[in-house]
Amino acid sequence: MDAATPDSRLELVSLQVETPLWTRFFSVAPLVLIGTKEGDGYDLAPKHMAMPLGWENFYCFVCSPRHATYRNAVEHGSFTVSFPSEELVVQAGLAASRRLSDASKPNLSVLPTSPARIVEGVLVEGCLLYLECEVEQVVDGFGANSLVVGRVVAAAAREDVLRGGETDDADLLERVGLLAYLHPGRFATVRESFAFPLPADLSVE
Ligand SMILES: Cc1cc2nc3c(=O)[nH]c(=O)nc-3n(C[C@H](O)[C@H](O)[C@H](O)COP(=O)(O)O)c2cc1C
């Protein structure tokens, strides 16, 4: 069979929508570390349900009022976003560890941090890109989950991940490698990429 031709012999299977769908198949997501101020210190938690919200400088992530990340972001009105590469994937996972009985998260010590520049909280050292956000809006009520939306008030990136100049986009991605979270429970580093076949009259820039 031609690889581009869908196999019409494969029957579609109906999925039950009364229970969550998202572990029945893989989907591609980013993986970021959301940083918040917590007490006299800070919290970091990995999130894969996270993205820019629209064309302007808003960034959002899905959280839950049960998570300290949500409560910290609401209390202090800010959060940071650190975009790790694969070198930090183990440490990023450890930031999701359960808290001890005293509510501490000792595994956070494996993530080197430096203070955020504008908002309260920290950035994770060694990442590719950083956003600092002020909470713009929190939308509760998606079952146990909520959408936390921030306005980006500061951003910084490693110089070699920025587009422009002489650098070819495909070469840049091959050299840098973007971390993708393949929900549920896998990850990949994306290095091979292709120009999207846009219609002649459409630009994404
Ligand atoms: C790979 C991975 C992705 C995650 N993505 C999310 C997410 O998108 N939204 C969410 O609410 N929790 C997500 N979690 C769980 C959070 O990290 C969770 O906030 C954290 O474990 C709870 O810590 P906290 O109470 O300090 O916020 C994810 C965990 C892992 C390991």
- Domain for residue 153, yes or no? yes
The pLDDT, as a whole number, for residue 173 is 97
**Cα(15) to centroid of ligand 1, in Å?**
25
Answer whether 100 contacts ligand 1 (Cβ < 6 A). no
Residue 8 within any structural domain of the chain: no
Q: Is residue 2 part of a domain?
A: no
- DSSP string of the chain? --TTS--TTSPP----SSS--TTSS-EEE--EEEEEEETTEEEEEEESSEEE-SSSSEEEEEE-TTSHHHHHHHHHTEEEEEE--GGGHHHHHHTTPPP-TTS--GGGGGS-EEE-SSSSSEEETT-SEEEEEEEEEEEEEETTEEEEEEEEEEEEE-GGG---TT--HHHHHHHH-EEEEEETTEEEEE---------TT----
179 lines ligand 1 (CB under 6 A): no
Residue 52 within a domain? yes
pLDDT of res. 37: 97
Compute the distance from residue 95 Cα to the ligand 1 centre, in Å: 8
Residue nearest to atom 10 of ligand 1 (CA): 63
120 touches ligand 1 (CB under 6 Å):
no
CATH number at residue 100: 2.30.110.10
Residue 179 CA to ligand 1 center (angstroms) comes to 16
pLDDT in tens for each of the 205 residues of the chain?
A: 455 566 667 899 999 999 999 999 999 999 999 999 999 999 999 999 999 999 999 999 999 999 999 999 999 999 999 999 999 999 999 999 989 999 889 889 889 999 999 999 999 999 999 999 999 999 999 999 999 999 999 999 999 999 988 889 999 999 999 999 999 999 999 999 999 999 988 888 7
Question: From CA 187, how far away is CA 179, in angstroms rounded?
Answer: 7
Residue 103 inside a domain? The answer is yes
Q: What pLDDT is attached to residue 5? A: 61
Residue 14 located in a structural domain: no
Bridge partners of 189? 179
Residue 132 domain boundaries: 27-159
Residue 41, amino acid: G
Answer whether 46 contacts ligand 1 (Cβ < 6 A): yes
43 close to ligand 1 (CB < 6 Angstrom)? yes
Hey, which of 33, 59, 61, 69 would you mutate to test ligand 1's pocket, going by the most ligand atoms within 8 Å of its Cβ? Answer: 69
Residue 116 lies in a domain: yes
* Cβ 110 vs Cβ 94: under 8 Å: yes
Q: Is residue 113 part of a domain?
A: yes
List phi, psi (to 5°) of 74. Answer: -70, -45
The structural domain count of the chain equals: 1
